[in-house]
Amino acid sequence: NGMKQQESGVEPEPGALVPFLRTQPSLHDPKYPEKLPENTLVLPLSRMNMRVIYTVSEYDPLLDSSNMNAKDWAKIASDIQKNYGNYDGFVVLHGTDTMAYTSSALSFICKDHQKSIVLTGSQVPIYEPKNDARDNLLGALLIASQFQIPEVTLYFNHKLFRGNRVTKVDATNYAAFDSPNYPPLLNAAKDFKVDWDLVWDSTAAESFDINTDHIPIVRLLKFFPGFDANMVRAVLSVPAESVRAVSAELVTEDPAELMTDGLAELMTEDPAEPATHVLELLKEVKGAVVESFGAGNSPNDPKILQEFKQAVDRGVLIMNCTQCLKGTVTMDYNTGQLLEEQGLIPGRDMTPEAAIGKLFYVLGKKDLTPEARREMLKRSIRGEMTIDRKIFQEQQ
């Protein structure tokens, strides 16, 4: 957490982190004899007679994590790929509010890597006298440098979690994250001991690759008492038809011409008009995550079910995840079976953050058929869900 108190509140401060880290004995050894490149620091010599040399790369602008989106996930993945051959591991410093979304998304975007990619941050800014930032950063640096863990992980409060299994559970305390349905890969109470039996079994060679070809539109719905069909329609309906009709009336008598030169004419006719947003409006929702009740249950209102069915028939991929922190989506109840009958895909014990990240990844793969996308969403591709119910129960 590189935030500082400003007049408008706590905000990121550009250029402040590296100079501050140089003043921290646990994070930089000023007596290191060799000349270091710009923005490069070195940890003190360890008891194993080893050092960690690390370079800090700062984004411009620095973002509060609440302002991040899928384009930022793609940027982080791309930068890791560009520097993959230059470093032994990678640490991503990130705000806690959306860190679980980013760690989940990166776990899917980044494939076939053998080097550790660790996200971390803090609840209290590192500039404060008492904070959790120093321990979290030091731990993440040591893990990324000492272990080749072929996963995107999140390190916080002495625990290393699988990146697509974690969720934020506390807004203020140091134990901000938990992995309700999968054990931590590492508990660093004293020494760093990785439970390798829990690490994702990757047999990939050194051929790290990313997929950021296309960023689709994905939505999130959450059931609550009183949820109705209008809410499904408002989130999943296709605005393109109404936009086409209105725009066609403005520029041409033939609506079919709108998608050719008609739309371009509308976009340039009057710069003061809000028509510059038409292209964005024409983008259709491609995926959605539903946070359902309990073990995947839905209201049995026929109108709600009809809206879901119509969306699925239009090609929208919808994943059904439970609102509960622990547990899995099952088909034990009739109200759970109803959603699957409409074409919703059971998310099993995936977190909503992981489901959103997976949808972005799968929908972004242009070479897949609709059926291939559905099949990919149903299976575990990065250890994000437990397929076998017996195995899930044993983990509890």
pLDDT of residue 22: 95
- Specify if 38 maps to a domain: yes
Q: What angle do CA 256, 260, 262 make, to 5 degrees?
A: 80
- The overall average pLDDT reported for the chain is 85
Last residue of a domain, one of 282, 308, 336: 282
202 and 221 within one domain: no
Q: How far apart are CA 136 and CA 355, in angstroms?
A: 26
The CATH number assigned to the domain holding 161 equals 3.40.50.1170
Q: Is 382 exposed, middle or buried (0-12, 13-18, 19+ CB in 10 A)?
A: buried
pLDDT at 260 exceeding the cut of 50: no
Is 46 in a helix, a strand, or coil?
coil
Compute the Cα dihedral for 20, 158, 101, 373 and give only its sign: positive
Q: How far apart are CA 273 and CA 280, in angstroms?
A: 15
- 65 labelled ligand-binding: yes
pLDDT of residue 281: 45
366 and 344 within one domain: yes
Is 358 in a helix, a strand, or coil?
helix
Q: How far apart are CA 335 and CA 28, in angstroms?
A: 57
96 counts as catalytic: yes
pLDDT tens figures, 98-141: 999 999 999 999 988 999 999 999 999 999 999 999 999 999 99
Share of the chain above pLDDT 70, in %: 82
- Specify if 261 maps to a domain: yes
Compute the Cα dihedral for 67, 73, 74, 76 and give only its sign: positive
165 and 54 within one domain: yes
Taking a C-beta distance cutoff of 8 angstroms, is the pair 157, 177 a contact?
yes
pLDDT tens figures, 173-200: 999 999 999 999 999 877 788 999 999 9
The CATH number assigned to the domain holding 300 equals 3.40.50.40
- 72 labelled ligand-binding: no
302 and 169 within one domain: no
- Crossing angle of helices 352-363 and 370-378, in 10° steps, is 150
181 and 92 within one domain: yes
Q: Which residue has the higher pLDDT, 203 or 171?
A: 171
Give the pLDDT band (50/70/90) at residue 326.
very high
Give the pLDDT band (50/70/90) at residue 238.
low
pLDDT tens figures, 361-373: 999 888 899 999 9
Residue among 137, 123, 118 nearest 20 (CA): 137
Those residues whose C-beta lies under 8 Å from the C-beta of residue 267, and which sit 6 or more positions away, are 275, 276, 278, 279
- Specify if 300 maps to a domain: yes
199 and 109 within one domain: yes
Q: Which residue has the higher pLDDT, 260 or 277?
A: 277
Residue from 96, 102, 153, 386 carrying the catalytic annotation: 96
- Specify if 392 maps to a domain: no
Last residue of a domain, one of 282, 304, 335: 282
Taking a C-beta distance cutoff of 8 angstroms, is the pair 143, 186 a contact?
yes
Taking a C-beta distance cutoff of 8 angstroms, is the pair 184, 161 a contact?
yes
pLDDT tens figures, 48-88: 788 999 999 999 888 889 899 999 999 999 999 999 999 99
84 and 114 within one domain: yes
Domain limits for position 70: 3-210
- 96 labelled ligand-binding: yes
Give the pLDDT band (50/70/90) at residue 309.
very high
